[in-house]
Amino acid sequence: QVQLVESGGGLVQAGGSLRLSCAASGRTFSSYVGWFRQAPGKEREFVASIAWTDGATYYVPSVEGRFTISRDGTENTVYLQMNRLRPEDTAVYYCATGPYPRHQSSYAHWGQGTQVTVSS
């Protein structure tokens, strides 16, 4: 079974940048690796995902052009580079791996989450 560990969260001012990392151990990722986020009082939502084999990427419209998801096969790690952060990006960010690019209900393996806080 794959274990996922996120890192890289923190506190940043609006307009700043953070890079999140998701490292897999035990086994490699499934077909897709996704980043999801949950803000206080809101449901968890899809942010971005990447196909582990060919690198195809998918984004929610609100982050397109600001966030970039990438993978490193040698390190078994997926990254989420977040630029031009906004206060509404504040959330706990989770990485997960599963068979489809966007449907979080299909993702069986999840990390513990990392907090991202964007101050105005």
- Summarised one tens digit per residue, pLDDT across range 52-104 is 999 999 999 999 999 999 999 888 999 999 999 999 999 999 999 999 999 88
Tell me how far apart the alpha carbons of residues 60 and 119 are, in angstroms, rounded to a whole number: 22
Burial class (CB in 10 A: 0-12, 13-18, 19+), 107: buried
Confidence of residue 1 (pLDDT cuts 50, 70, 90): confident
pLDDT (0 to 100) of residue 30: 81
How confident is the model over 7-24, as a mean pLDDT? Answer: 97
pLDDT (0 to 100) of residue 28: 82
